[in-house]
Structure 1
């Protein structure tokens, strides 16, 4: 499941196979499932992603947020500062 792709916040509850993935979730996976459904988090994330720069380096998606963006650390998200060459 791609966390950054727009779409429904959760699978279709009427689809029998839609929640099969939860059997494999770790505690982090469960935390993400609850966090991504939180309307306040959804608003903060949408605000933070406005003007974000997306790149792909070594098969990893990197999202660079502007310095004046919403502070998502209050949601327990970790960020690192990347030095640009």
Structure 2
């Protein structure tokens, strides 16, 4: 997946998350971001990666987001790996 496509998915995820009354406060608490800063942070690939990391923590969230955006369930995680910071993941 290209970084550009990954950013598109992440921005869509941020928009979806910002309209979710249940998940938005959880994300803000976990990320330390303020609701009024989200628009400006949408230009940061690292912040967008954190949005995808948050959503991919729960299969139900992934499914809800993907169903709303009509994308495949594996795309948010693929997008996460295409954004900065994923290369630091080591499984051994």
TM-score (norm 2): 0.29
Larger Rg: 1
If asked which structure has higher relative contact order (CA below 8 Å, sep 6+), I would say 2
Q: Structure 1 or 2: larger helix share?
A: 2
TM-score (norm 1): 0.31
Q: Structure 1 or 2: larger strand share?
A: 1
